[in-house]
Structures are given as C-alpha cells and as structure tokens.
C-alpha cells in the first residue's frame, strides 16, 4: 500500500508532527512530502490535496485524509496499539487528546513551535499561564503509575503533546517536577529526535506555525 504524508515545515508545523509520530510508532511505511508554509504557492498546493487546504494530509489508495487526529485514528485502525488496550484508559486518552486538539489557544498563539529557536524565556499573558497550568493538570490527572508515558506505553495522546513539550523547552517554561520529567521523556523519543534533526536542517523561511 502506497502512502504519502504531506506535511508543513518540520521546524514549525506542530500539526504535521503528530500523525508523523503516530505512523512511525505504528511502523506504517509512508513517503513524506514537505510543503513549505506561507509561500506564494502554498494555498494552491494544499487545495490540490484537500478542500481544507491545511497540512497534514495523508494520501492513501482509498483517498485522502486531512486533519491530524483523523490521520492518527486511521493509523490506529491499522495498528490498534496506538491507543491503550483498556477501554477506560482508551476513553481517557481520547479525551485528553481531544482537549489538546481543540484547546489552549493562548499557548498556541504565544508559544509557537520553532525547533530552531534557542531556549529562552519570554513574557507571557495570564491566559497563556493558565493554559500551561491546565496542561500540567491534565497530565497529572491521567498519568499512569507505570511506564514513562501518559498511559504507561506510548499512545496517540503522547504524539499530541510532543509539540507542547517542545514549546515548554523552547520558551524555558518553569514546570512541576513531574511535568518536566514527562517533557524529557517525550523529547528523548527516537522518532521525535529524527523529526527534530530534520527540522534543524531545514532552510525554508516561513512564519511560526
């Protein structure tokens, strides 16, 4: 089966990173195609792939799938281990993933992902600090006692919070001991390190994503 994952700049595109990590973890073979963001031809190129005109987009023999979570769910149907086996844990994993998928607007806006940005603290709004506190509270609420990831073994929930971990590192955000340990776990993951290495080699010039 031939698959192509169309993604934005690895330096900036947090939404692209999430399904890329899930496909890698599931050992689903795919080709990747980088579409530089915010260039003159970007929208035209994206519209040729999907009506949403956003990245990521997964091309499959059965048609295209857009949206990070939709692609991850497609991958989970091929590799069920991407969600926890226990039904209650699986429901909680989906809940926390949905929270990340639709929330934390201030954090996203004020702390954009940039994997070439040297770590440095910046001033943040009250709304952003509230988002940071809420993320840590969510992690603490669901964190399994066994295993380094949110639900013990790696899951799609961890894919969705890996870009958040990069933001916390980039902007030197003070975290609880437990949250800092989880961030270190996410950023030590070999698949993430592969993504970051490629991101640091990119020369595309585009605004933050």
Domain harbouring 42, CATH code: 3.40.30.10
Are 113 and 173 in the same domain?
A: yes
Return the pLDDT at 206. Answer: 47
Are 74 and 89 in the same domain?
A: no
pLDDT of residue 163 exceeding 50, the answer is yes
Predicted confidence (pLDDT) per residue in 99-119, tens digit: 999 999 999 999 999 999 999
Instruction: Please tell me the distance from the alpha carbon of residue 167 to that of residue 107, in angstroms, as a whole number.
Output: 9
Instruction: Tell me which residue of 36, 4, 35 sits closest to 20, measured CA to CA.
Output: 4
pLDDT of residue 37 exceeding 90, the answer is no
Share of the chain above pLDDT 90, in %: 87
pLDDT of residue 21 exceeding 80, the answer is yes
Are 70 and 97 in the same domain?
A: no
Are 114 and 52 in the same domain?
A: no
Are 89 and 58 in the same domain?
A: no
CATH number at 178 reads 1.20.1050.10
Return the pLDDT at 204. Answer: 65
**Would you say residue 25 lies in a domain?**
yes
Domain count, the chain: 2
Are 111 and 26 in the same domain?
A: no
* Res. 208 pLDDT band, cuts 50 70 90: very low
User: What's the chain's average pLDDT?
Assistant: 94
Q: Distance between terminal CA atoms of the chain?
A: 31
Are 113 and 63 in the same domain?
A: no
Domain boundaries, position 185:
83-193
Are 87 and 50 in the same domain?
A: no
Are 167 and 188 in the same domain?
A: yes
Instruction: Please tell me the distance from the alpha carbon of residue 95 to that of residue 174, in angstroms, as a whole number.
Output: 25
Instruction: Please tell me the distance from the alpha carbon of residue 123 to that of residue 117, in angstroms, as a whole number.
Output: 16
Predicted confidence (pLDDT) per residue in 50-61, tens digit: 888 899 999 999
Are 59 and 90 in the same domain?
A: no
Return the pLDDT at 170. Answer: 98
* 8 A C-beta contact, residue 162 and residue 97: no
């Amino acid at each position: 089966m031939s698959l192509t994952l169309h993604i934005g700049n690895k330096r900036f595109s947090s939404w692209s990173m999430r399904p890329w990590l899930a496909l890698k973890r599931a050992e689903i073979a795919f080709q990747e195609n980088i579409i530089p963001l915010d260039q003159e031809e970007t929208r035209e190129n994206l519209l040729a792939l999907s009506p949403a005109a956003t990245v990521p987009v997964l091309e499959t023999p059965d048609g295209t799938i857009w949206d990070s979570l939709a692609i991850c769910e497609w991958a989970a149907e091929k590799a069920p281990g991407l969600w926890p086996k226990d039904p209650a844990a699986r429901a909680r994993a989906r809940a926390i993933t949905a929270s990340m998928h639709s929330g934390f607007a201030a954090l996203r806006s004020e702390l954009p992902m940039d994997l070439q940005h040297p770590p440095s603290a910046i001033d943040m709004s009250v709304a952003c600090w509230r988002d940071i506190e809420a993320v840590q509270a969510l992690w603490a609420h669901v964190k399994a006692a066994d295993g380094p990831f949110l639900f013990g073994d790696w899951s799609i929930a961890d894919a969705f919070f890996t870009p958040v971990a990069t933001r916390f590192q980039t902007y030197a955000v003070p975290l609880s001991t437990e949250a800092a340990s989880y961030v270190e776990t996410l950023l030590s993951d070999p698949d993430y390190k592969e993504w970051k290495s490629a991101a640091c080699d990119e020369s595309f010039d585009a605004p933050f994503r």
